[in-house]
Structure 1
Amino acid sequence: MDATTSSEFILRAWREFATRDPERIAAVFTPDIEWLAPPHNATARALDDISHLVGRDRVVHFLTTEFPAVFVADRQVDFTAVTATDTTVVVETRMRATLMNGRPYDNDYCFIFELSDGRIHRVREYMDTQRAQEMFDGSGFRQNG
């Protein structure tokens, strides 16, 4: 893949994530996919503190079952930047949603997707963990720009 094809693939994969269709989502990942997020982040805490997902089935389960159980409604992801090479795509996003506790969620993210054999092999996810925790527990919530 060239850089343009890689970035188009990731944007297409993101649309597949939104379908919550396990087969469609599984098709974008290698069997040994790893998804790494900051340890003890608010979403991980809501899910038994799991922040390192390994294997296609585990990641698909997260995206189809666990993620929508935490971010229950009004999910909106806005892409603010996409930068790519042949095998790496960096995506900056802003995600808004309603949390399982009814509170609003609004946070910025950076995802680094590593590709192998035309599929996603590794995802490194970064976000403002303190801001997320504040929204999860209701302490000091502030609107994002």
Structure 2
Amino acid sequence: MSATFPTDVTAANRQRMQHIMAELDKGNGKPFVEAMADDFCWTIPGDTPWSRTYSGKQAVISELLRPLYAQFATPYISTTRRIMADGDRVVVEFDGRVTTKAGKAYNNRYCYVFRMEGGQMKELMEYLDTALVIAALEAPSAPLAA
């Protein structure tokens, strides 16, 4: 039990993420996108062309998700392995499998660390095999200046 959050916050956040990931595992990404707060920030650490912080729901969609999914030749299949929650933090371990349009297998294992607020995803730190990102994915196009 968290020292600063009541157990019901932990349970609600775990349940919310269980629903989102169950839908993602079925190929439905809509609940994931709907759960992003407008000021959602997604960080991919490392030295890949994709590594940076995407700030704001619209930036996440236009600069990360659309360019990424545009490279996929097959439907993206995720398999959730574990979900752990403590207060406003939820950790999700899962696998993703897809073939790129270049014919490369992009089968990665992820650890997502979310910060939740009011049932919305506010922050995401994504840990993954960055060597596979470099080997299998094309670099995203440069974001357009505002």
Q: Which category of TM-score, normalised to the shorter sequence, fits these structures?
A: 0.7 to 0.9
CA distance in 1, matches of 2:94, 2:45: 16
Distance 1:96 1:5, change over 3 A: same
Residue in 1 that maps onto 2:67: 66
Structure 1 unpaired stretches of 5+? 138-145
Task: State the Cα RMSD in Å.
Answer: 2.5
Partner SS for 2:76: strand
Q: Does 1:5 align with 2:6?
A: no
**Greater helix proportion:** 1
1:31 paired residue number: 38
Q: Distance in 2 between matches of 1:81 and 1:16?
A: 14
Answer whether contact 1:29 1:119 (CA < 8 A) is retained. yes
Identity, in percent, stands at: 20
Structure 1 residues 111, 66: closer, same or farther in 2, change over 3 A?
same
Normalised by the size of structure 1, how large is the TM-score? 0.74
- The alignment's TM-score, normalised by the length of structure 2, stands at 0.73
Runs of 4+ with deviation above 4 angstroms: none
Distance in 1 (CA, whole Å) between partners of 2:41 and 2:95 is: 22
Does residue 99 of structure 2 align to residue 98 of structure 1?
A: yes
User: Paired residues, what number?
Assistant: 128
Quote the Cα distance in structure 2 between the aligned partners of 1:131 and 1:78: 18
Secondary structure, in 3 states, of the residue corresponding to 2:74?
A: strand
The structure-2 alpha-carbon separation of the partners of 1:51 and 1:72, relative to structure 1 and needing over 3 Å to count, comes to farther
1:13 counterpart letter in structure 2: I
Alpha-carbon distance change, 100 to 50 in structure 1, aligned in 2, over 3 angstroms: farther
Query: How far apart, CA to CA, are the structure 1 residues paired with 2:33 and 2:72?
Result: 21
Give, in whole Å, the separation in 1 of the partners of 2:93 and 2:83.
6
Q: In structure 2, how many angstroms separate the alpha carbons of the residues matched to 1:52 and 1:88? A: 18
